[in-house]
Amino acid sequence: MILEDNGFILMQSIVVPAAFSVVALALGKRLRAKTGWIAFIALLYSSILLGYSQWLLFSVPELEAIQASYTWLPDISLPFGSLSLGNFTLRADGLSAPIVLIIAILCTLISIYSIKYMEHEHALGQYFSLYLLYASGMIGTVLVTNLAAFFLFFELMLIPSWALIGVWGTGLREKIAFKYFMFTEAGALSLLAGIVATSFIAKTFDIFEISQGMTGVAIGVQVALVVVMLLGLFVKMAIFPLHTWLPDAHAEAPTPISALLSPAMIGIGGYAVIRIVYTGFPEVVAAQTPQFMLILSFLALITMTYGGYMALAQDDIKRLLAFSSISQMGYMLFGIASVSTIGVVGAVLLYVSHGLSKAVLFMVSGVLIHDFKTRSVRELGGLGPKMPYTAVATLIGFLGLMGFPYIIGFWAELYVFTGSMYTALQGFSHLIEPNAIRVLITALAIVASVLTASYGLWTVRRVFYGQPTERTRDAKEGSMIMLVPIMVLAALALILGIYPSLVATGTTRFISELLSKLVLVV
């Protein structure tokens, strides 16, 4: 059953933050940091609407999706026929609903955090205006199912985030913002090329109609289309070797924006891989091309290992967290490439886990930078007794990344690795060699996950234990307006770890049905 969104719930969740960006711009000069409360009100409204959507999908088993469709552009006449851009369709289902809700919650809480963190910065009306547009772009990217509209929202994520880094960032912010823009725009152009080619061949921009349009198209052509789009999405995810923009951008962005770039934005690339490739190109995912998904698994292994090793080598706490994000995107891609229900559900749970845990850690880094005016881990120490709430939140954040039980990250990693091993042992049994290779890759990935525990616990040890340094001798707990959002996210990671069905129930139903269609393709 698909519920028609006659109350414009999904549309409001995008439009309200965008509309309030104009209000923030108009009142920013007078309100300064208090403009953040305008952003908070708008984003809280969106979070409530999206939370209601997620609750309906969780509580009504027969409900497949909440959907709203609008006519937006007429057909385009071409010399060889007409091309329809289709309807502007928004859809909250088992895949998009939990991801977009996490985005909205993060944007809402980080807007409060920004009020204190950014209070001494300039042009805060412009800052919160761009912040709201950035949030609107991320929400729209996840909800929309028309590829043309998807690209427009994809670009709406890029432009405000580039400006936020370039104007309010630190260090060589202009050069780093330029590098970030060029990398992600090159990826966006690759994505656009794949979208245009796909629409001409399939005669549609609707993601759910592409598979029908691809019937009879040579598998080599389909793989080429997928590769072109994946290049753009992998730049967004910072998959090795397309990752070099991320450590600079995430380290030098203002910390509230780092807490959105890393936990919320980069994972949208992984969401798009599931949405576009699994839905639109089932023949590429299915048994006709098992080596293709195996290659993605190997790429994921390299990414998670490289990111973990580089995180171990960092003294700058924000660069450490940035390389950690690269590693976590490797985990997400590993689940996506598993071609199993449990693995792909694990990838969605990984997005949720990484979103909550990494937002906590970036916000904690902002507290440390704000209070002690340093990003060097070696200049910190002995903070546990002086900052107990911050210490507990940091520990929860790192334990979530490493997959510790009772935190949502445990279920994410368990599902990701179980799904990959299941495919290796029970999957395409007529292809023995690729399955043996997948067993090896999965085993190596499990071993590589030790790196997350290494850099996480080592960081906690250096920052919160031992003797206080000269900088931390007179330390005390940070501002409550910065601590409350951190503690809320840490608590949410624990709640979902104890009761993961709040996220996993609808997602499992959706992914199971999606992958059941691959059997028909085989």
Residue 411 has pLDDT above 80, yes or no: yes
Give the separation between CA 158 and CA 183, rounded to whole angstroms.
11
Beta strands in 333-462 (DSSP E): none
Query: Tell me: the pLDDT tens digits for 113-168?
Result: 999 888 888 888 899 999 999 999 999 999 999 999 999 999 999 899 999 999 99
Is the residue at 467 inside a domain? yes
Instruction: Look over the chain and give the mean of its residue pLDDT values, rounded to a whole number.
Output: 88
Q: Which two tokens stand for residue 332?
A: 């997400």
Is the residue at 203 inside a domain? no
List the one residue out of 514, 493, 335 whose CA is nearest residue 409: 493
Residue 400 has pLDDT above 90, yes or no: yes
Taking residues 266-276, report their average pLDDT: 92
Sign of the Cα torsion 512, 408, 370, 29 reads: positive
Tell me: cis bond preceding 254? Omega within 30 of 0 counts. no
Q: Which two tokens stand for residue 440?
A: 């090896």
**What's the total number of domains in the chain?**
1
Is the residue at 484 inside a domain? yes
Distance (Å) of CA 7 to CA 138, 416, 482: 21, 36, 34
Is the residue at 398 inside a domain? yes
Give the separation between CA 139 and CA 18, rounded to whole angstroms.
11
Taking residues 171-200, report their average pLDDT: 90
**88, containing H or E segment:** strand 88-93
In the block, residue with structure tokens 């307006």 = 481
Residue-range definition of the domain harbouring residue 315: 287-522
Write down the pLDDT at residue 432: 40
Classify residue 302 as exposed, middle or buried by CB count within 10 Å of its CB (0-12, 13-18, 19+).
middle
Q: How far is CA 143 from the centre of its chain?
A: 14
Residue 462 has pLDDT above 50, yes or no: yes
Is the residue at 381 inside a domain? yes
State the amino acid at position 150 in one-letter form: F
Angle between helices 501-521 and 35-59 (to 10 degrees): 60
3-state secondary structure of 462: helix
Express as a percent the part of the chain with pLDDT over 70.
94
Residue 435 has pLDDT above 80, yes or no: no
Q: How many other C-beta atoms lie within 10 A of the C-beta of residue 220?
A: 9
Using pLDDT thresholds of 50, 70 and 90, give the confidence band for residue 434: low
pTM: 0.92
Using pLDDT thresholds of 50, 70 and 90, give the confidence band for residue 23: very high
Residue 431 has pLDDT above 50, yes or no: no
**283, containing H or E segment:** helix 282-285
Is the residue at 22 inside a domain? no
Query: Tell me: the pLDDT tens digits for 173-187?
Result: 889 999 999 999 999
Using pLDDT thresholds of 50, 70 and 90, give the confidence band for residue 486: very high
Query: Tell me: the pLDDT tens digits for 97-127?
Result: 999 999 999 999 999 999 988 888 888 889 9
Give the separation between CA 414 and CA 437, rounded to whole angstroms.
20
Residue 81 has pLDDT above 70, yes or no: no
Q: How many other C-beta atoms lie within 10 A of the C-beta of residue 76?
A: 10
Distance (Å) of CA 98 to CA 57, 262, 405, 504: 10, 17, 21, 9
Is the residue at 131 inside a domain? no
Query: Tell me: the pLDDT tens digits for 317-328?
Result: 999 999 999 999
Is the residue at 145 inside a domain? no
Give the separation between CA 108 and CA 45, rounded to whole angstroms.
9
